[in-house]
Amino acid sequence: MSDLTIGVLAVVLLFAMVIGGIPIAVSLITTSLLGSYLMSGSIEQTGLLASNTAIGGVQNYIFAVIPLFILMGGFMSHSPAAGYLFDVALLGTRRMIGGLASATVFANGIFGAVTGVSVASAAIFARIAVPQMVDRGYDKKLALGAVAGSSVLGMLIPPSLLMILYGILANVSIGALFIAGIVPGILLSLMYVLTITVLGLARPALVGRGAQATRVAESALVAATPGGSAGSVPPHPAPAPTRVGKGVPVEEIPAGRALARAIPVGLLIALVLGGIWAGSFTPTEAAGVGAVGALVVAFGHGMRGLGLMDSFREAAVSIGSIMLLLIGAQMFSRVLARSGMVGELTSWVTNSSFTPLVVVLLFILVLLIMGTILDSSSILLIMVPLMVPVIMTIGLDPIWFAIVVILAVEIGLLTPPFGMSVFAMSAVLGDRATVSEIFIGTIPFLITMVVTLGILVAFPPLVTWLPSLIGGGLQG
């Protein structure tokens, strides 16, 4: 059996194991060890592959960026920062059509800049924003969809765990990826707000405006009736004041106080991203600064010992699983390289009549299909070693392609049957929302994501322009 055949069989076995429910890290390591043994015929060489990858594969200084950014996000998740950001966002959007839903989008985007994990954002804002929108008469499915849809901004707006994983796997500057994600993140946020506004204009009842319109119409009708008065018809109950943050009605929160409480989070974002942008920090150093800054901000916002311990415990669990995944992914990529499969795939694409656009669209299609059965990190770990050599050979910008891939992978967070953000929200909301209601609510936002993905594919400068301004300051 040739090495190439073994490589193909290893990929097939990997997918079979994952679909069969075997953890992705176990699947990667198992197929890598088996493939290595079949190609070398030596248990000793197979053992060297495992030991060298496990010891040397994650010793690089750049890998410290993963635990530090995870810890930064953990500190912020155990503080009231998300509620304070929601307060500020609502102050700026409450006069807009669908203002509560738009505030959720903006707050989720800003919160994503200090957590970098979409599932965490989905869980937190499911508690904060969904009850507020339902109380104000918003359609429940729209409320659920707004939270689930905007949660993906956490992976597109830096710092992003997916960007870190992609940068490590593809040997691409993480700093450049962080800066490249800013414009697409803002674009997707604005597209979400546009979607909410259009839905609100088309069907006012979706954004809580139907009840208000009914009250106005009835009052006008009574006033126009001879001898009638507005008090002749029992009024509809006024919507309860929206309560955000720590339960204070937003109408009673002074703008200055709301802004003051959110300023530390804004300064933290500016420090981390500004330091990378200015070349003052490498991404790893920025992660360290961010973790310390997040700890200070979280304590200033009321986090205490229990929250601190929870942050460390959750970070340790996440870091352990991610490092195991990275070891498995590096073992698998070495086996694929030895089999010659990557080279054969690259040669086949370059010798075919496919245009670069067709190649990108085919990769996106594969990613979207995989998103229905796998989580985002697993998709990157499997596909990046296969895709990047092809993309580099046909001359496409690796930074642009990385952002396109991350957005395509993030669509999988909202698609059935295994949308991770949807199930995170379901776990938080319990019997207040079914999984099917959340999936239905995400449909307009899924369409918006696909449209935004198309825009980024059609106009690469939206991704590459900002990193090109900074150039060599984005090392690491």
Q: What percent of the chain has pLDDT over 90?
A: 16
Residue 317 lies in a domain: no
63 and 203, same domain (yes or no):
yes
Check whether 395 has a pLDDT greater than 80: yes
- Determine how many CB atoms are found less than 10 A away from the CB of residue 310: 14
Check whether 444 has a pLDDT greater than 90: yes
Give the burial class of 410: count Cβ atoms within 10 A of its Cβ; 0-12 exposed, 13-18 middle, 19 or more buried. Answer: buried
Between CA 414 and CA 146 the distance in angstroms is 11
Check whether 435 has a pLDDT greater than 80: yes
25 and 87, same domain (yes or no):
no
Orientation of helix 24-40 relative to helix 3-19, angle to 10°: 160
Provide CB contacts within 8 A for 341, sequence distance 6+. 4, 7, 8, 11
Residue 310 lies in a domain: no
390 and 425, same domain (yes or no):
yes
Question: Do residues 300 and 264 make contact, with C-beta atoms less than 8 angstroms apart?
Answer: yes
Residue 308 lies in a domain: no
DSSP per position, 387-436 = HHHHHHHTT--HHHHHHHHHHHHHHGGGSSS--HHHHHHHHHHGGGS-HH
Residue 259 lies in a domain: yes
What mean pLDDT do residues 172-198 have? 92
Check whether 222 has a pLDDT greater than 60: no
The total number of residues shown for the chain amounts to 476
How do 248-249 and 243-244 pair as beta strands? antiparallel
Of 473, 476, 463, the residue nearest 277 (C-alpha): 473
Residue 348 lies in a domain: yes
Question: What digits encode the pLDDT tens for the residues 14-69?
Answer: 888 877 878 888 888 888 889 888 888 888 888 877 777 777 666 666 777 788 88
Beta bridge partners of 248: 244
133 and 275, same domain (yes or no):
yes
pTM: 0.79
Helix (H, G, I), strand (E, B) or coil at 372: coil
Question: What digits encode the pLDDT tens for the residues 277-308?
Answer: 777 888 888 888 888 988 888 888 777 778 88
255 and 331, same domain (yes or no):
no
Q: What is the pLDDT of residue 221?
A: 34
Helix (H, G, I), strand (E, B) or coil at 158: coil
Question: What digits encode the pLDDT tens for the residues 63-92?
Answer: 777 888 888 888 887 778 777 888 888 777
Amino acid of residue 102: S
Beta bridge partners of 244: 248
Between CA 453 and CA 360 the distance in angstroms is 12
- Determine how many CB atoms are found less than 10 A away from the CB of residue 338: 17
Between CA 449 and CA 149 the distance in angstroms is 8
Considering the chain, what is the average pLDDT of its residues? 80
187 and 161, same domain (yes or no):
yes
Check whether 220 has a pLDDT greater than 60: no
Q: How confident is the model at residue 217 (pLDDT cuts 50, 70, 90)?
A: very low
Q: How confident is the model at residue 449 (pLDDT cuts 50, 70, 90)?
A: very high
CA atoms within 13 A on the CB side of 295: 15
330 and 369, same domain (yes or no):
no
Check whether 404 has a pLDDT greater than 80: yes
29 to each of 7, 19, 36, 144, 327, how far by Cα in Å? 14, 16, 10, 37, 8
Amino acid of residue 319: I
23 and 103, same domain (yes or no):
no
145 and 51, same domain (yes or no):
no
Where in the sequence is the domain holding 119, given as residue range(s)? 57-231+241-303+340-473
Residue 331 lies in a domain: yes
Residue 462 lies in a domain: yes
27 and 91, same domain (yes or no):
no
What mean pLDDT do residues 198-227 have? 59
Between CA 192 and CA 208 the distance in angstroms is 18
For residue 94, give both structure tokens. Answer: 């409450």
308 to each of 56, 57, 159, 211, 320, how far by Cα in Å? 31, 30, 21, 44, 18
Residue 120 lies in a domain: yes
Q: What is the pLDDT of residue 448?
A: 95
Q: What is the pLDDT of residue 249?
A: 45
Helix (H, G, I), strand (E, B) or coil at 36: helix
Q: What is the pLDDT of residue 132?
A: 83
261 and 278, same domain (yes or no):
yes
Between CA 425 and CA 442 the distance in angstroms is 12
Domain count, the chain: 2
88 and 212, same domain (yes or no):
yes
What mean pLDDT do residues 449-453 have? 95
Amino acid of residue 422: V
Find the helix or strand (DSSP H, E) in which 243 lies.
strand 243-244
